[in-house]
Amino acid sequence: MLPREKANESLLSTLTKEHSKHIQENRSYIKTVAEVLLLTATQNISQRGHRETSDADNRGNFLAILNAIGNHDPFVKKKLTGSRNAKYTSHQIQNEILDTLAEMVRSSIINEVKESGVFSIMSDETKDTKKKEQISFVLRYYYQGAVKESFLHFESADQLDAAGLTKKIIELLERYGLDYKNNLVGQSYDGASVMSGKHSGVQACIKDVAKQAFYVHCNAHSLNLVLVDTIKAVPPADTFFALLQRLYVFLSGSHVHIKWLDTQKEMCPGTPRELQRLCDTRWACRHSACHTVLERLPAITCVLEKVAAENHGERSIDARGLLTQIDLQFIGLLVTCTKIFGENLESLESLWKEVVNTAENSNVETEPIPKRKLKQSKMLDGHTVMSSVGERSEQTRDSFRTSIFYPVLDVMLSELKRRFSKPNCAIMMGIQALNPSSASFCKEEALFSFASIYACNIDDLTHEIHQMKRVLQRKVASGIQKPSNIVELTNMIEPFKDVFHELFRLCKIAIAIPVSTASCEHSFSTLKLVKTFLRSTMDDSRLSNLGVLSVESSRAKSLDMENFVNRFSKQDDMKDSVLIFIVDLILR
């Protein structure tokens, strides 16, 4: 080979190596930028600053972290400080990177849903800091031995009627290629009429196109409504919770609060505790409030006595009024509500015993104060008096039973029956028949009714049920513990899903049917962390992408960054092709 040809080959090899080195450095840099954005997204911290110029004191978290990395990486420093370098730090590039990362997370969710086969959708709406209505979409499905509830998207709602919300849901499912007409087996929303209407609500509109989409009114909302309605229907209970709220307000005052903390340190072991504020939409706060007041009642009465003895105007009057209302009836309701809301309800005898013990520890009278006996009118001489005449009711065990205990239980049981008795009981009974711990496990009547709703082959299912019973009998006979719930049963069947095809499908459907919209509520907590008052100008696309990366942070942190660079570079190539095409048209 001639010397000149060798020189050209050497030069070409050198240029190729330098080009490859330059590509690898750029790929490494864009991965660094993406990892910084991913870190800020998963940690729910803002990316941009108010002013991002070079002379600004605070240029935002994103640029600050990149500059910190640049202090230890010369190439990153060079890219950030060079005058003609592509820095990839503008807000447009940030949006593109976040969109690529979020779409990778969504793709992994959609692949799992498609592999599972059947799924349910859960949706709820709330207002963000700009009073814009945001809808949260969550998918529930079974995948690799576990129940998955994966957040998919935030969508701003311009129309809050049934037609507009239905269109949003269907467009979302079609956008990600989900076969909702055949595989959507459940839908769960709150109890608003626009969502739950039987004829023109969202659930009815969805069921028109997805015949198997069973509607579930969020059970958490239903349970909260049961408790709220019970309290409103029993006047002593309604008064009781109003008094709890008054106690919270009074003890939260600056002057009284100091006494409240000091009294707890003197009388109660451990860290001082705060009373809970009541909220109509969260029943758990009522249990927390009752539980705290029950444990700290002696300290509460002590604080009220101290403030009442101060003779300090309105504050002392309020303390005396509250102290007067903490009587045996109040303690009876306190113990009863604590047991009903969060613990096992015991017999009336044990409940009353706890009421009396609590009253004695709090210096509350347990016996009715003797009163002067009223004289019977002489006009009634020689007559038998069958009812009280001018006598006042006393707080005794019998009055507690008739005026508090039984009314609360009676109203609560009737509300539970009214709100949880669903017309589609065949589905609920079918799900129960798939639970190995249930007495109705593998009962053919319930399972066949359930299977007919979802178009299963009844003949194949009959043989599979018979075979499954024999398999479980052999496991028990050999000392192996049988599955205790539907998820464990599904996990056991999955390796043999070709043999138990219909039974495995029914188990996946039973798991996929939603219970509540709690995952949507969880995404709303993330929404408040992402779109704060200082970040209220964020557009909807960026909000949705940041929401996905934050809620599904475990998926986001496990993303393959090499795959990200490949996907991001393809987007740039597409943009370059479009730009060249436009320039070519202009030149023509």
Better-scored residue on pLDDT, 120 or 588? 120
Q: pLDDT band at residue 107, thresholds of 50, 70 and 90?
A: very high
Q: Tell me, what's the pLDDT at 79?
A: 86
Better-scored residue on pLDDT, 196 or 206? 206
Better-scored residue on pLDDT, 235 or 345? 235
Query: DSSP 3-state assignment of 198?
Result: coil
Q: Tell me, what's the pLDDT at 84?
A: 65
pLDDT in tens, 385-405: 555 554 444 557 778 888 888
Say if residue 2's pLDDT is above 70. Answer: no
Task: Give the span between the Cα atoms of 447 and 506, in whole angstroms.
Answer: 9
Q: Classify residue 288 as left (phi > 0), alpha (psi -120 to 50) or beta.
A: alpha
Cα→Cα distances 513→275, 402, 521, Å: 37, 41, 18
Please check whether residue 445 is in contact with residue 462, taking contact to mean a CB–CB distance below 8 angstroms: no
pTM above 0.85, yes or no: no
Q: Tell me, what's the pLDDT at 372?
A: 58
Cα→Cα distances 395→232, 348, 382, 426, 435, Å: 22, 15, 31, 47, 47
E strand map for 157-201: 184-189
Query: Torsion angle, CA of 54/59/65/68, rounded to 10 degrees?
Result: 40
Q: pLDDT band at residue 149, thresholds of 50, 70 and 90?
A: very high
Q: pLDDT band at residue 368, thresholds of 50, 70 and 90?
A: low
Task: Give the span between the Cα atoms of 101 and 116, in whole angstroms.
Answer: 23
Residues of the chain with pLDDT > 70: what percent? 87
pLDDT in tens, 212-233: 888 888 888 888 888 888 888 8
Say if residue 588's pLDDT is above 70. Answer: no
Q: pLDDT band at residue 579, thresholds of 50, 70 and 90?
A: very low
Cα→Cα distances 229→238, 348, 416, Å: 10, 23, 10
188 bridge partner residues? 122, 216
Say if residue 333's pLDDT is above 80. Answer: yes
Say if residue 576's pLDDT is above 80. Answer: no
Amino acid at 295: E
Cα→Cα distances 351→291, 333, 397, 473, Å: 15, 10, 10, 43
Say if residue 271's pLDDT is above 60. Answer: yes
CATH hierarchy code of domain 100-218+516-556: 3.30.420
Residues of the chain with pLDDT > 90: what percent? 30
b/e code 107-139 from CB counts within 10 Å (16+ = b): ebbbebbeebbbbbbbbbbbebeeeeebbbbbb
308 token code pair = 């009442």
Q: Tell me, what's the pLDDT at 392?
A: 47
In the chain, which residues fall in CATH 3.30.420?
A: 100-218+516-556
Q: pLDDT band at residue 50, thresholds of 50, 70 and 90?
A: confident
Q: Tell me, what's the pLDDT at 440?
A: 85
Instruction: Give the mean model confidence (pLDDT) for residues 282-294.
Output: 84
How much is the mean pLDDT over the chain? 84
Instruction: Give the mean model confidence (pLDDT) for residues 143-161.
Output: 90
Cα 63–Cα 67–Cα 73 angle in degrees, nearest 5: 135
271 token code pair = 């860290």
Task: Give the span between the Cα atoms of 212 and 184, in whole angstroms.
Answer: 7
pLDDT in tens, 484-500: 889 999 999 998 888 89
Query: What is the bridge-based pairing of β-strands 146-156 and 119-127?
Result: unpaired
Range picked from 95-99, 226-230, 307-311 for highest mean pLDDT: 95-99
Instruction: Give the mean model confidence (pLDDT) for residues 355-381.
Output: 70
